[in-house]
Amino acid sequence: MSPKLTYPLPWGSRTFIMGILNITPDSFSGDGLIQQVDVVKAALARAQNFVQAGADILDIGGESTRPGSTSVTAQEEIKRVLPVIRAIRDSGLDVILSIDTYKAEVAHEALEAGVDWVNDVWALRADPDMASVVSRHKAPVILMHNRSKPDNAFLDKRLGGIHLGARYENLIEDIKSELLASVSLAHQAGIRSDHIILDSGIGFGKSVEDNLELLNRQNELCSLGYPILLGPSRKSFIGYTLDAEPQKRLEGTAAAIAIGIARGVDIIRVHDVEVMVKIARMADAIVRRQNPGR
């Protein structure tokens, strides 16, 4: 097993793989671990499998962000994720850990417990204390674009939720502008530019057509000069495009990942790590001329 990566990662050398650990009962993808008899044991086993398959980063979340999901308190979120974080750290597993939260209190506790990064789906805008927590811990932060509103979501029991009400004057330019506003919040709190990663927020406050266009134009986000994370895995825009429920979106996710890598993204956030590592290695061999056996 190769040693744990340290920040900053060697951006541009290859695509980095973030595996998703949902410590929730209501994940849209059906992979939430709360329903397991021994949640910590199940999460640790999945973490070990992901790392063995080639994951560089594990993203641990204790609250679902799917359209129509039920919010939980910071204390409940902490109760869900901290035992998993500690178990992974105590296991000696060499992997970067990320906490998927928009709550400053959760981020603080997770960072104290050994998490390396913060993944904020509201890009420092949901909790006024988040930026200062990230800054104090000198942690890298993922800032994700998000225009989600509950009243703009349409839910289909089989295909999931899509957003119908968000309106963009210019999809890419609006997303870039709003992400840069969050970058300014980060800078004001003392977060360094080289600790910032951007995520265009596929599936968050965007229609199916918006998501398809955004995916195909990831290179325009790359021009902002920050590493770019792409997270299309199993999402509803794939389901509506292919008429497929979450567990049947592997091929659609693979296509989205391959296009994203061709457009220059740096990190892919995925559920199906083993398969998507192979997709990434093949795409890297084509686009970055990397040895796929490396």
Catalytic residue of the set 235, 249, 263, 281: 235
At 26, the amino acid letter reads D
Peptide bond into 8 cis (omega under 30): yes
CA dist., res. 166 & res. 81, Å (int):
31
Is 136 among the catalytic positions?
no
129: tokens are: 């204390």
CA dist., res. 208 & res. 67, Å (int):
14
Chain position carrying tokens 């993204």: 265
CB atoms within 10 A of CB 56: 21
Helix and strand counts by DSSP (H, E) for the chain: 10, 10
98: tokens are: 């990320």
Report the Cα–Cα distance between both ends of the chain, in Å, rounded: 12
Is 41 among the catalytic positions?
no
Q: Are strands 160-163 and 153-156 parallel, antiparallel or unpaired?
A: antiparallel
Chain position carrying tokens 């541009």: 12
**Burial class of 10 by CB neighbour count within 10 A (0 to 12, 13 to 18, 19+):** exposed
Which residues carry out catalysis? Answer: 235, 269
